[in-house]
A and B are shown apart, each in its own frame.
Chain A
């Protein structure tokens, strides 16, 4: 049986761990608020660009933009995989990495572009070194999104990838996140059909004048839309990561409490047993000496 001292040491170390998880929990809670504020700030742009896109889709007849043509047949699919830079958030990163693997299994070949240290490491582990990678926590997320968008766009236009797919975590509620796989490029006619209700909306607005032409404006807007989609997925990953970390750290703190309680009872039992044993020895010794 463990001695009182062993148990006391374990309890002390558990208490230290608990202090750390508690602190991380508080930090995560504060950072969620910051991440959500950043998401909120990006919303007006999202609304505006979506509205412009709807107006354009309603007006264009044909667009000669690479994003609206099927990618080069036989070229590998390009996956943009977004994770956090750090761990300690439960299965947050392994879930999204798993989603990318699941998608990869449906494809004959894959080229990865990673944002976040965990994604980079996973891709390296699969034996694909030297893939373009960026940090999620870089000082300017929008610059990172632009660079990533540029890299995938160049490769797509060159024909070294046939499509652009985004795999990232989606924040459902504070308690749950779900990985999402989205095909971003090429944007085919079928995808636009879903915007048909928007087409009516645009008609109601009456004739819109485009300068110089709807096709030109759309060809400018599509790359911005890709950039912004990556940017907003990065913001969402950030918020979802801290939400996952908050949950993970809350659980860790609770588990530590439970373990500390159990060990404290064990320690008290062990101490009582030691006292009882000592008493018995004294009494037995006294009896042997014939003390009255």
Chain B
């Protein structure tokens, strides 16, 4: 059995996942970052994207793949645990494709309308990226 470490994925409203993982890969602002057990202390800002992890469901069964679309957030890795904080995390089966498309279109429109306002631009970009992540997760993009 490969070594694993406690992994927690948290949003303000709920704990989306709590268990053990062999590997956690998240999209930081600097690119994808994979965390294995005994990683040096690490704290990063996350971009909206797809978070992947090899998680152990019940102790020592074979690892299964966990994939979620996540919005902006943070990842804290310590030698003995990994914590990911995001605004929202959506599982494959919870993505409503039509809704994601709608969000994508609306945000794109708003971004165009707010041309020149850097804060608004960044805000809409985050929504666009998250919608894209959801679509990619479901293979619609």
Report A's interface with B, CB cutoff 8 A: 38, 41-42, 44-45, 48-49, 51-52, 55-56, 142, 150, 154, 157, 205-212, 214, 216-217, 220-221, 224, 227-228, 231
- Judge whether A44 and B8 touch: CB under 8 Å: yes
Q: Contacts A55-B76, A205-B78 hold; do A45 and B10 have CB atoms under 8 A apart?
A: yes
**Out of B14, B33, B72, B87, which one reaches A211, CB within 8 Å?**
B33
A38 to B15, alpha carbons, bound, how many Å? 11
**B29 located at the interface, meaning its Cβ lies under 8 Å from any Cβ of chain A in the complex:** yes
**Out of B12, B44, B85, which one reaches A210, CB within 8 Å?**
B44
A209 to B14, alpha carbons, bound, how many Å? 27
Q: Mark B6-22, 1 if CB is under 8 A from A, else 0.
A: 00101111110000000
Q: Contacts A142-B13, A220-B45 hold; do A211 and B8 have CB atoms under 8 A apart?
A: no
- Cβ distance B40 to chain A, nearest Cβ, rounded Å: 6
Residues of chain B within 8 A of A210, CB atoms compared:
42-44
- Judge whether B42 and A208 touch: CB under 8 Å: yes
- Cβ distance B85 to chain A, nearest Cβ, rounded Å: 5
- Cβ distance A19 to chain B, nearest Cβ, rounded Å: 36
**Out of A56, A150, A157, which one reaches B43, CB within 8 Å?**
A56
**B94 located at the interface, meaning its Cβ lies under 8 Å from any Cβ of chain A in the complex:** no
Residues of chain A within 8 A of B62, CB atoms compared:
none
**B83 located at the interface, meaning its Cβ lies under 8 Å from any Cβ of chain A in the complex:** yes
Considering the complex, give the chain B residue whose CB is closest to the CB of A41.
B14
Q: Mark B108-141, 1 if CB is under 8 A from A, else 0.
A: 0000000000010001000000000000000000
- Judge whether B83 and A55 touch: CB under 8 Å: no
Residues of chain A within 8 A of B83, CB atoms compared:
48, 51
- Judge whether B76 and A211 touch: CB under 8 Å: no
